[in-house]
Amino acid sequence: MERLEQVAEKVGMLMKSEVELQHGGCIVNKKRTLVIHANTSFFSCTLDLDISFTNLKEDGTAHNKAEIYLLPEEFPCFSFNFREYPIPLPTDFQQRLISNPNIVCVHLESKERPEDFAERLSAALEVIEQLDGKVYMN
């Protein structure tokens, strides 16, 4: 249990968020506020990002999951920075998208060290926060 607590604490620091230990895993409590433009109106909403890891193994790997909500114009920047981060993606990695004209939900899963997953994810989120309404072109 002590190892799980140490890893959870490091993940929380990397994600700049509170963490919650659960039996065999950890949930990262992180929110993101989006301003969604729909036709001539817009609205702001704060969403919980679903980020967790479970089944921490002796070798330090775990099953990592994240569901991230982005504006459509943020997705290319997020995706590029997530993929191209200096820590390479593991071979056991999956990504799914669900989108509509106003929002994109990115579902990520990997088997790797939770610290690596959190570092890569945090860096990609940080880059899109710095965009501040500017559209990213790759």
Give the model confidence (pLDDT) of 38-96 as tens digits.
778 887 888 888 899 999 999 999 999 999 999 998 999 999 999 999 999 999 999 99
Tell me which residue of 70, 64, 61, 62 sits closest to 28, measured CA to CA: 64
- Look at residue 118 and give its three-state secondary structure: helix
- Answer yes or no: are the C-beta atoms of 14 and 115 closer than 8 Å: yes
Q: What percent of the chain has pLDDT over 90?
A: 66
- The whole-model pTM stands at 0.88
What pLDDT shows up at residue 40?
80
What CA–CA distance (Å, rounded) separates 25 from 56?
7
Mean pLDDT in residue range 103-121: 96
Phi, psi torsion values for 133, nearest 5 degrees: 90, -5
What pLDDT shows up at residue 1?
64
What CA–CA distance (Å, rounded) separates 27 from 37?
30
Residue 136 pLDDT exceeds 60: no
Residue 15 pLDDT exceeds 50: yes
Alpha helices in 16-66 (DSSP H): none
Considering the chain, what is the average pLDDT of its residues? 89
What pLDDT shows up at residue 132?
62
Tokens (6 digits) for 125: 């989120």
Which residue type, as a one-letter code, is found at position 77? C
- Checking phi first, is residue 133 left (phi over 0); if not, alpha (psi -120 to 50) or beta? left
